[in-house]
Structure 1
Amino acid sequence: MSKYTSFPEPMEDQNPFQDPAVTQHSSNTGYATLDLYNPFDNPTGPPPPYEPTSPSAPAVPAQTPPSRTTPTEARNYGSYNSQPAVNATTAELLRKQEELEKKAQELERRERELQSHGLGPGASRQNNWPPLPSFFPVGPCFYQDIDVEITQRFQRTVTIMYYFWMFCTCTLLFNLVSSLAMFIVDASGGVGLGLAILWALLFTPCSFICWYRPMYKAFRSDSSFNFFVFFFIFFAQVGVFVIMTIGIPGWGFSGWIVSLAALKTSVPVGAIMMINAICFTGQAAMGVVMLKRIHSQYRQTEASFVKAQAEFATGVMSNQAVRQAAASAAQGAFTPPR
């Protein structure tokens, strides 16, 4: 048992630097390398030339550091197709924000103008059109102020239509004058003079009420129902303008046919009627242009046929007479017969 439990005798401590392999390698000057070079051994002499430790060892290629993006380089953290969608959504939100800001500025402008006129937001306005003198027995019937009630981007259109209605009125009055001149020269033209008086008295107020006021209220309150009323009536009015321009004999319009025929009777009267025919032509052309312009602006608003139906139903049910008639009809329908 002693031979298994006995420990070997301690050996002398060996210096690892005294290993024959180390001493042999360090003593050989032919194998001097940069790894074994000590700059403090020979401070006066130059360092030995560099020699690789092992010719057979492959050279390790230097690794290039990964390139980093500069702060100005654009980075895409989403998919390839998500970036254009985000840009389109942002542009749409910015456009809607600009529209809301414009509407807010327009409301503030109207409020300031109402305050400058001494009227609050809920105050009632006094009618100011037609501008009749104070001693006249009949007062104004409508309130009209384009700068206050109409949005700024539609003010020019409404103003043009107002002057266009005035031009139509003046043309009808001039038609009355030319028909009177024709009646003076030729007494057989009494029917045309009578119809000219009728058209002047009929078309002047009816055109204002039937197509100008619906157009005005449509742009004032963005009313779909008034837009459709205007388009329906003004389209018929443009057709009447074309008939006025033609000048059918016996209809009371000094158009081209009547004017050319009047030249055979009297040259001065024919010239006056031709001027009237030119006014009728310009009136018809202007009507077509304004109809197209208002229709294009109508498409830019939020008006629609569905909203027009809803406004019509709301307006009908808000009428006191209609509600009483509906209540009476409902009461009669549910009352049992005696």
Structure 2
Amino acid sequence: MSEHDSNAFTEPELSNPFQDPSVTQARQTTTTTATAMAARLEEYNPFTDAKPAAMASKPPPAVTPGAPTQPAIMKPTEEPPVYSQPRVQESTGGAGELLRRQEELERKAAELDRREREMQSLSASGGRKNNWPPLPEKFPVGPCFYHDVTVDIPVEYQKTVKIMYYLWMFHTGTLLANLLGTLAWFCVDPGRGADFGLAILWFLLFTPCSFVCWYRPVYGAFKSDSSFRFFVFFFVYVCQVGVYVLQSVGLPGWGACGWVSALTCLNVSIAVGVLTVLVAALFTAQAVMSLVMFKKVHAMYRTTGASFQKAQQELAAGVMSNKTVQTAAATAGSKAAQGAFKESI
């Protein structure tokens, strides 16, 4: 019955948890580690190069002797956006365009200054002296015209006028080549004397007439923006282009080594035929270039504001300002007044 005498409601004696073996071992390990760390910290002096054993236990990184060292370079974490590059190129192109325009303006300003100085020097010396054709001083006949594109013609029209002048020179050279071609043809075929004579006439007649009748009008038209001179140039130059076409055809007996004459001459002499073929090619090239320049001058004429009414006004003003016309009109008026007075008496 002693087994049943124990009180079930009484609590057994509780054991001390800190006396557990695992807890006691953990406390001893912690105390030992803390004591060792405190001893190491007491031995460490921050003002010396010595390091604690904990820090000295880590070996320094190995460095290879003689290995090149590079400075630290900061690299961007990301590339610049793509849309920023065209802007840089656009700004560069805009700067180049501005520089080009500035250089062009400076060139035009220098050209205007030079022309102004030349005009002042000419006015101081008493006027401009004729310089074309460029004849020697001892020649019995002096120059008849003043010709200087850089002085008389505005900058925007100088290139066109120079091309027209070179075209006139090409026209003169072609007539000279035609003269030589007809001479060679006359040497191999004595029956071509009329062609040789007409070639001499065309060279002596068309060379000065073309300069006076269509080059000087276009020169003066661009110089003074004259509508009347533009119309004179158009009328004469259309006729000149027609003459070029006829010379390119080269009918026998017309004094031109065109394609028909060249093919005919090939049956007589191959060498002379080749020469006439070259002359025919020159006439053809001259006709084509003349037609192109006619269109170009006409397009520039339309941008200058010229018109047929202005041409009529310029013609009337020119006629009325002519001293010969004024003298003739005054003489006719005085005679008419005298006749009316006599009739009234």
Alignment TM class, shorter chain as reference: 0.5 to 0.7
| Alignment gaps of 5+ in structure 2 | 1-104
Specify the structure having the higher radius of gyration (Cα): 2
Whole-angstrom distance in 2 between the partners of 1:135 and 1:123: 23
Amino acid at match of 1:115: R
Give the one of 305, 310, 316 matched to 1:313.
316
Matched, 1:137 2:162: no
Q: In the alignment, which residue of structure 2 is the partner of 1:191?
A: 194
When the two structures are superposed, what TM-score results if normalisation uses the length of structure 1?
0.67
Q: In the alignment, which residue of structure 2 is the partner of 1:127?
A: 130
The answer (yes or no) to whether the contact 1:110–1:149 under 8 Å persists in 2 is: no
Whole-angstrom distance in 2 between the partners of 1:110 and 1:137: 36
Amino acid at match of 1:197: I
Matched, 1:252 2:268: no
Q: In the alignment, which residue of structure 1 is the partner of 2:214?
A: 211
Amino acid at match of 1:271: V
Task: Report deviation, 1:133.
Answer: 0.7
Whole-angstrom distance in 2 between the partners of 1:295 and 1:174: 30
Q: Secondary structure at the match of 1:169?
A: helix
| Higher mean C-alpha deviation, range 206-215 or range 148-157 | 148-157
The answer (yes or no) to whether the contact 1:211–1:233 under 8 Å persists in 2 is: yes
Amino acid at match of 2:252: P
Alignment of 1:28-177 (within 5 A): 109-110=111-112, 112-116=114-118, 118-120=121-123, 124-177=127-180
Q: In the alignment, which residue of structure 1 is the partner of 2:68?
A: none
When the two structures are superposed, what TM-score results if normalisation uses the length of structure 2?
0.65
Q: In the alignment, which residue of structure 2 is the partner of 1:227?
A: 230
Q: Secondary structure at the match of 1:265?
A: coil
Q: In the alignment, which residue of structure 2 is the partner of 1:55?
A: none
Whole-angstrom distance in 2 between the partners of 1:332 and 1:110: 52
Whole-angstrom distance in 2 between the partners of 1:204 and 1:246: 20
User: Taking structure 1 as reference, are residues 136 and 226 closer, same or farther at Cα in structure 2, changes over 3 Å only?
Assistant: same
Q: In the alignment, which residue of structure 1 is the partner of 2:293?
A: 290
Whole-angstrom distance in 2 between the partners of 1:229 and 1:143: 20
Whole-angstrom distance in 2 between the partners of 1:113 and 1:319: 29
Whole-angstrom distance in 2 between the partners of 1:106 and 1:322: 41
The answer (yes or no) to whether the contact 1:241–1:284 under 8 Å persists in 2 is: yes
Whole-angstrom distance in 2 between the partners of 1:189 and 1:119: 52
Q: In the alignment, which residue of structure 2 is the partner of 1:19?
A: none
Whole-angstrom distance in 1 between the partners of 2:213 and 2:125: 27
The answer (yes or no) to whether the contact 1:180–1:193 under 8 Å persists in 2 is: yes
Task: Report deviation, 1:121.
Answer: 8.5
Give the number of equivalent residue pairs: 235
- RMSD of aligned residue pairs (Cα, Å): 1.9
Q: Deviations over 1:57-105 (max 9, x none)?
A: xxxxxxxxxxxxxxxxxxxxxxxxxxxxxxxxxxxxxxxxxxxxx9xx9
| Higher mean C-alpha deviation, range 217-226 or range 318-327 | 318-327
Whole-angstrom distance in 2 between the partners of 1:111 and 1:321: 38
Q: Deviations over 1:125-180 (max 9, x none)?
A: 00010111111111100001101111111100000000000000000000000000
| Alignment gaps of 5+ in structure 1 | 1-101
Task: Report deviation, 1:109.
Answer: 4.4
